[in-house]
Amino acid sequence: MRALLALLAAVIVTACGSPSPTFHQDVRPILEGRCVNCHVQGGVAPFALDSYAAAKAVGAAVVDSTQKGRMPPWLATGNDVGGFLRDPSLSAEQKEVLAKWVAGGMPEGDAKRPGAVLEPVAGGLARVDLTLSMPEAYTPRTLPDDYRCFVLRWPKTTPTYVTGVNGVPGNSKIVHHVALYLVEGEAAKFPPQWDAEDQVPGYECFGGPFGNRPQQFPVKLLTAWLPGYQGQTFPRGGGVLIPPGSTVVLQMHYSTLEGAPGPDQTAMQFSLADSVPRTLAYQPFLKFDWVAGMMPIPAQATEVVHEHRADPRSNFGLLGSPLNTTGGFNLEAVMFHMHTKGRRGELWLHKADKTRLKVLEIPRWDFHWQQEYQLAQPVRFSPGDELRVRCVFDNVEPGAKASNWGENSDEEMCVANILSSE
């Protein structure tokens, strides 16, 4: 009798258990909202996820990549300051829908009644006021990763604010990520010289717009852009001031792992304004001793920690910040920078009253997915507070030698670039 009851119970549970999610009703809304911007024919990702057949072919991989948080690419976990704008991460429920769909045999459902697509997270640019293109097409020569800088001459003759940036990749199969740097004043002449010295379009550069050249001057990050993320508008109406006569350096990372090397001529689109409610500037937070060669990473070592806690404002001044931070400043967004030995990165705000707030944590650093993490609300740094940046490195590649700070790909960096306002 007891066995019969158990059997009955099992039958009832099965009959009433929630039916498997279907592709068109449950899965497609997630894929179209969070994946298809990259996973489309001709897109940056290696395969499409834009049809039932395409998604079914890689169902198990979709579950693995989303459960483990590799996809969609977003390296940050939660923080203590209200989260981020435009966070594309899937919720636990959305991940569960994908897992149940695959476990349930990947039923197609009714194509005539598709579920509502998730709201896109990237808003795109409200307006395109200026488009600057690479002067010539370039075909990557260093495989599989080619880091190449191109000079974009800033055409405006009056001070102008950039309020948003979008990229238009010339060859989506190989454009992996893009960083834009601002070189102002006297130094603005160097990148065009380096370009002219190199016979091939652009010039080689890995860590930043100098490459490994001896000239060093304050580098100003303007922003970063990843294919697939349509247009990045700076938070809260802010803008970065570009003085006339500046050079904008476009650092392209080409990856030929997914596409054969072919010519690319990427263009960048800008939204501009003559005035903005708040001036923004990226200010790099790092320890100057590191740059002087005091960031040793021994050969074959793991879990090498370099950490720095300080009031960053005097360093910001030395590095040419346009902001007056005497009364403190707002953290608006953070872009972390390490090279390929980086494993984890963190930025903390230590308030004068001893509270500690996590601003950004990247538990699995990936050099290939560097992006701007915009804070949902600005976070105030007041006099008396300190920031702490923490980088953890592994140096265990076969044959890896002792490493230290530097611009080359086998050298390292540890920088929290902080998009700030007054």
Q: Does 228 bind ligand HEC (CB under 6 A)?
A: yes
d(Cα 43, Cα 37) in Å, to the nearest integer? 8
CB-wise, 330 or 370, nearer to ligand HEC?
370
d(Cα 96, Cα 99) in Å, to the nearest integer? 5
Instruction: Return the DSSP state at 407.
Output: S
What binding mask, one character per residue, do residues 317-356 give for ligand HEC by CB under 6 A, x or -?
----------------------------------------
Q: Does 24 bind ligand HEC (CB under 6 A)?
A: no
Span of 69-77, 79-87, 378-386, 395-403 interacting with ligand HEC by CB under 6 A: 69-77
Which of 273, 210, 285, 284 lies closest to 240 in space, CA to CA? Answer: 273
Q: Does 261 bind ligand HEC (CB under 6 A)?
A: no
**Helix, strand, coil tally for the chain in percent (to 5):** 20, 30, 50
C-alpha neighbours within 13 Å on the C-beta side of residue 25: 12
Residue 271 φ then ψ, to 5°: -95, 135
Span of 104-112, 222-230, 319-327, 386-394 interacting with ligand HEC by CB under 6 A: 222-230
Q: Does 188 bind ligand HEC (CB under 6 A)?
A: no
Span of 38-46, 136-144, 232-240, 355-363 interacting with ligand HEC by CB under 6 A: 38-46
Q: Does 44 bind ligand HEC (CB under 6 A)?
A: yes
Q: Does 66 bind ligand HEC (CB under 6 A)?
A: yes
d(Cα 11, Cα 5) in Å, to the nearest integer? 10
Q: Which one among 27, 35, 81, 331 touches ligand HEC, defined by CB under 6 A?
A: 35
d(Cα 228, Cα 44) in Å, to the nearest integer? 7
Q: Quick check: helix, strand or coil at residue 99?
A: helix
Span of 42-50, 193-201, 283-291, 320-328 interacting with ligand HEC by CB under 6 A: 42-50
- 346-405: contacts with ligand HEC (CB under 6 A): 368
Q: Which one among 25, 40, 48, 73 touches ligand HEC, defined by CB under 6 A?
A: 73
Closest CB 36 distance from ligand HEC, rounded Å = 8
d(Cα 83, Cα 375) in Å, to the nearest integer? 6
CB-wise, 40 or 280, nearer to ligand HEC?
40
d(Cα 316, Cα 218) in Å, to the nearest integer? 10
CB-wise, 68 or 309, nearer to ligand HEC?
68
Amino acid of residue 1: M
Q: Does 278 bind ligand HEC (CB under 6 A)?
A: no
Q: Which one among 50, 52, 57, 70 touches ligand HEC, defined by CB under 6 A?
A: 70
Span of 64-72, 128-136, 235-243, 391-399 interacting with ligand HEC by CB under 6 A: 64-72
Alpha helical stretches, state H, 26-161: 28-34, 52-57, 59-67, 92-103
- 88-117: contacts with ligand HEC (CB under 6 A): 90
d(Cα 246, Cα 155) in Å, to the nearest integer? 9
Q: Which one among 106, 152, 187, 226 touches ligand HEC, defined by CB under 6 A?
A: 226
Number of residues that bind ligand HEC (CB under 6 A): 23
Q: Does 37 bind ligand HEC (CB under 6 A)?
A: yes
Q: Which one among 72, 209, 312, 342 touches ligand HEC, defined by CB under 6 A?
A: 72
d(Cα 291, Cα 270) in Å, to the nearest integer? 32
Q: Which one among 22, 23, 27, 38 touches ligand HEC, defined by CB under 6 A?
A: 38
Q: Quick check: helix, strand or coil at residue 358?
A: strand
Q: Which residues pair with 417 in a beta bridge?
A: 284, 335
d(Cα 339, Cα 220) in Å, to the nearest integer? 18
Closest CB 118 distance from ligand HEC, rounded Å = 10
Q: Quick check: helix, strand or coil at residue 46?
A: coil
User: Tokens 């230590």, residue?
Assistant: 350
Closest CB 416 distance from ligand HEC, rounded Å = 22
Q: Does 45 bind ligand HEC (CB under 6 A)?
A: yes
Determine contact, residues 306/391, Cβ cutoff 8 Å.
yes
Burial of 119 (0-12, 13-18, 19+ CB in 10 A): exposed
Q: Would you tell me which residues interact with ligand HEC (CB under 6 A)?
A: 34-35, 37-39, 44-46, 58, 61-62, 64-66, 70-73, 90, 226, 228-229, 368
